[in-house]
Amino acid sequence: MDNNNLEQITFGGGCFWCVESCFNMLKGVHSAVSGYSGGHKDHPTYEEVCTGATGHAEVVQITYDPAIISYEQLMDVFFFLHDPTQLNRQGNDVGTQYRSVIYYKDEAEKAKAEEAIEKSQQSGRWAGTYVTELTPFDKFWPAEQYHQGYYNENPTQPYCSAVVGPKIQKFKKHYGELGMLNAE
């Protein structure tokens, strides 16, 4: 990948362990880093974010090569990996830190995100009204190191085996059939 042409996108779709693992498997993704955005405290910790008091969402910041994978393809994956109709939750994970949110950097990116939301809603993939927030990007705080690649390091941890693993298998089947995954 030509590092001079890389772009970034930051969004939240529930627990970052689920989302980060999948994005790191995609062709054209240079990195997917778990972290926090959208809150009012600098350098928040996982424990602080989990209280909901900092206003942050668990997010993944993706650095990608648009010559290999498009913004629109990343949005398709984003809406595949989480239910954008659930307000401040994903399954049993409840709280504002699990909200569905896309952080945009400028008006052009906001327009692309609005189009992606509309396209996904029209697809009928999820029944119900989308509650995905569109929020101007401000800051991204990387999560603690032990959260990076968490699933790969802890696949037998109960939450990983019960929630993350099945989501990853569904993702791998779908996007593998589309030829979008890196070779293992």
pLDDT band, very low/low/confident/very high, at 71 (cuts 50, 70, 90): very high
Q: Where are the domains of the chain?
A: 7-178
**Over 80: is that where the pLDDT of 184 sits?**
no
Give the pLDDT of residue 60.
Answer: 98
**Over 80: is that where the pLDDT of 2 sits?**
no
**Over 80: is that where the pLDDT of 3 sits?**
no
Instruction: Give the pLDDT mean for 164-178.
Output: 95
What does pTM read for this prediction?
Answer: 0.94
- CB crowding 33-62: b at 16 or more within 10 Å, else e: bbbbbbbeeeebebebbeeeebebbbbbbb
Rounded alpha-carbon distances, angstroms, from residue 149 to 49, 111, 164, 176: 19, 31, 12, 20
Give the pLDDT of residue 41.
Answer: 96
**Any idea which residues carry the catalytic annotation?**
15
Could you tell me which CATH number the domain at 7-178 has?
3.30.1060.10
DSSP SS3 for 136: strand
Give 85-135 pLDDT, tens digit per residue: 999 999 889 999 999 999 999 999 999 999 999 999 999 999 999 999 999
DSSP characters over 11-34? EEES-HHHHHHHHTTBTTEEEEEE
- DSSP code for 85: T
Instruction: Give the pLDDT mean for 37-49.
Output: 97
68 vs 92, higher pLDDT: 68
Give the pLDDT of residue 141.
Answer: 98
The rounded percent of the chain whose pLDDT value lies above 70 is: 98
Which range (3-7, 45-49, 132-136) has the least confidence? 3-7
Give the pLDDT of residue 1.
Answer: 46
